[in-house]
Amino acid sequence: KAGVTQTPRYLIKTRGQQVTLSCSPISGHRSVSWYQQTPGQGLQFLFEYFSETQRNKGNFPGRFSGRQFSNSRSEMNVSTLELGDSALYLCASSPTQQGGGRDTQYFGPGTRLTVL
Amino acid sequence: ILNVEQSPQSLHVQEGDSTNFTCSFPSSNFYALHWYRWETAKSPEALFVMTLNGDEKKKGRISATLNTKEGYSYLYIKGSQPEDSATYLCAAPEGGGADGLTFGKGTHLIIQP
């Protein structure tokens, strides 16, 4: 099976712009989670989608949003970019067989966002 | 928001030595405890998902134990090799039946030849 794919891999934006990142999960996986990785904060949970519904959200401002399509592909959007949004954004998919956070998450390669 | 903590933050180990590090998590409303290995320039790779108190899991030279009553897990690496150099992350589900994980800040392991 193909792994989790993320596009684009690298992105440079300026403050105030908005950005959309895309994630295609492993075939058959219906849950997609998004994470932000920064050197100071480590890997932080943004949100999780299952069957086109956001099931959980981390402690991020409303500028961060996401959605999931019927084919389980997911996008996340960051509006009004700030310098502090520079980070590696990872998505992960899981098969949701056991539920309750007991399923392994499979990570994509990430999108490196730089905000100038 | 869960509080998942890992120690030590970094560790230098001689090749061939064994080592271990700790993950602590809230013992109430426990669902699962995940361990991941994250090598530079790669994606985090799942090592274990542990769900039962007293669980012990093994993958090659790496093993993990789980104590849900006191809220900690240990990861052990036996006979460290240079390819074991990575950041080891533990994580617990956010809860509510969803799959999103709260990660600790990781233990950065460097194996010195």
Q: Output A39 or B69, whichever has higher pLDDT.
A: B69
Q: How far apart are CA A34 and CA A20, in angstroms?
A: 13
Instruction: Give residue-wise pLDDT tens across range B71-90.
Output: 999 999 999 999 999 999 99
**Which of chain B's residues have a Cβ under 8 Å away from the Cβ of A105?**
34, 46, 99, 101
Instruction: Give residue-wise pLDDT tens across range B2-40.
Output: 789 999 999 999 999 999 999 999 988 888 999 999 999
Q: Report, as an integer, the average pLDDT of A2-22.
A: 97
Q: Between chains, do A105 and B101 touch, taking CB under 8 Å as contact? A: yes
Whether B96 shows a pLDDT value over 70: the answer reads no
Helix (H, G, I), strand (E, B) or coil at A74: strand
Q: Is the dihedral of CA B24, B103, B49, B82 positive or negative?
A: negative
Q: Between chains, do A101 and B43 touch, taking CB under 8 Å as contact? A: no
Q: What is the pLDDT of residue B5?
A: 96
Closest-approach residue (CA) in chain A for B101: A45
Mean pLDDT, rounded, of chain B: 93
Report CA-CA distances (Å) from A101 to A48, A75, B1, B97: 11, 21, 15, 6
At A99, is the pLDDT very low, low, confident or very high (cuts 50, 70, 90)? confident
